[in-house]
Amino acid sequence: MTLKMPHTTKKTSEHRLLAVLVALLLAVTGAAQTEEGSVRMEGTGTYSAFADGRSFTVHLALLRPDEWCHPLKGSRVLSPFGNRGERRHTGTDLKTTAHDTIRAAFDGVVTQQGPFSGYGNCVVVRHSLGFETLYSHNSRNLVRRGQQVRAGQPVAIVGRTGRATTEHLHFEVRVDGRPYNSELIFDHATSQLRRHSVTFRKSGQATISAKP
């Protein structure tokens, strides 16, 4: 969206008008103060993971090796999920080398791609498992919106676009627009899929249980 500002000779008037327009834009998009930016990314369409109840469970141990892929194999955790000072870090920052390949964590469909606020170049993939994964700060996106992707398929190249001080992948797991700790799904230290079951609750909580 391009906002055309009316010409004025008074800088204070410009600043006040700009502040009003930004406030209106944030109100429309659903603002939330996060480390990556003030605009919360939402799912598209009428999708709701909790359409049939207040929770759902993903049995990770039942997934075959070809049904999952760590998004950035061999990476180290640069910054974990959780509070970081006065801001909330809604994902896990993973670091390898610049221009490394970012891969889809699971089969799914691309719901968003392109530059987005502090995320920079960003890709969001919705999975039939019930959640979405987000990949951001990319130097280049390799997929288009609406494209079907397979687990392990390249979706982007590591970069530092948006609010980033070094080349890395900001990786998120989201359910209905709400971020959850991706360590529930992956052991980032070993680039392996967890072998337990995860129950996501509409309240925003998530619990783990032994494999089925």
Sign of the alpha-carbon dihedral angle for 82, 75, 139, 68: negative
- Residue 73: is it exposed, middle or buried by C-beta count within 10 angstroms (0-12/13-18/19+)? middle
Per-residue confidence (pLDDT) for residue 39, from 0 to 100: 32
DSSP lists the bridge partners of residue 179 as 174
Per-residue confidence (pLDDT) for residue 38, from 0 to 100: 31
Cα 6–chain centre separation: 35
Per-residue confidence (pLDDT) for residue 50, from 0 to 100: 82
Per-residue confidence (pLDDT) for residue 84, from 0 to 100: 67
**CA-to-CA separations, 199 to 70, 100, 115, 180, 206, in angstroms, rounded:** 20, 32, 31, 11, 5
- The reported pTM is 0.77
Per-residue confidence (pLDDT) for residue 98, from 0 to 100: 86
| Closest residue by Cα to residue 158 from 113, 110, 93 | 93
- Residue 104: is it exposed, middle or buried by C-beta count within 10 angstroms (0-12/13-18/19+)? buried
Per-residue confidence (pLDDT) for residue 203, from 0 to 100: 87
Per-residue confidence (pLDDT) for residue 132, from 0 to 100: 96
Per-residue confidence (pLDDT) for residue 83, from 0 to 100: 74
CA within 13 Å, CB half, 22 = 9
Residues 6+ apart with CB under 8 A from 202: 50, 54, 55, 176
Per-residue confidence (pLDDT) for residue 181, from 0 to 100: 93
Per-residue confidence (pLDDT) for residue 134, from 0 to 100: 97
> One digit per residue, pLDDT tens: the chain, 212 residues?
443 434 444 444 444 444 434 333 333 333 333 444 433 344 444 467 887 788 999 999 999 999 999 999 999 999 898 776 767 778 999 999 889 999 999 999 999 999 998 999 999 999 999 999 999 999 999 999 999 999 999 999 999 999 999 999 999 999 998 999 999 999 999 999 999 999 999 888 899 998 66
Per-residue confidence (pLDDT) for residue 211, from 0 to 100: 63
Per-residue confidence (pLDDT) for residue 210, from 0 to 100: 83
Neighbour-count burial for 188-211, b at 16+ CB within 10 Å, e otherwise: beeeebbebbbebeeeeebeeeee
